[in-house]
């Protein structure tokens, strides 16, 4: 169940670097808050750490910019 929720959320990440960073940060913050509240860390530090890691991973995994044939010759 949890894996299917993560898969649906990750599918809506976006195509650009900025979209991926924002959605990755949001998913990471939500996950970090849940994990942080289940441990001694607390939900706020978990959300901050998870959001930072999620934004970094989302930005790093952005697809490369598409180049078209016509762009090279005009």
Only one residue has tokens 């195509």, namely 15
Domain of residue 47 covers 13-61
Residue 66 lies in a domain: no
Residue 70 lies in a domain: no
Rounded to an integer, the average pLDDT of 2-8 is: 58
3-state secondary structure of 35: helix
Residue 30 lies in a domain: yes
Residue 3 lies in a domain: no
Residue 34 pLDDT > 60, yes or no? yes
Residue 49: which pLDDT band, with cuts at 50, 70 and 90? very high
Q: Which residues contact 34 (CB under 8 A, 6 or more apart)?
A: 43, 46
Share of the chain above pLDDT 90, in %: 43
The number of domains in the chain is 1
Q: Please tell me the pTM assigned to this model.
A: 0.69
Residue 6: which pLDDT band, with cuts at 50, 70 and 90? low
């Amino acid at each position: 169940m949890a894996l299917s929720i993560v898969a649906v959320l990750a599918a809506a990440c976006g195509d650009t670097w900025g979209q991926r960073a924002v959605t990755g940060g949001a998913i990471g913050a939500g996950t970090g808050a849940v994990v942080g509240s289940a441990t001694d860390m607390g939900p706020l530090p978990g959300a901050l750490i998870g959001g930072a890691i999620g934004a970094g991973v989302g930005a790093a995994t952005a697809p490369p910019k598409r180049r078209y044939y016509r762009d090279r010759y005009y």
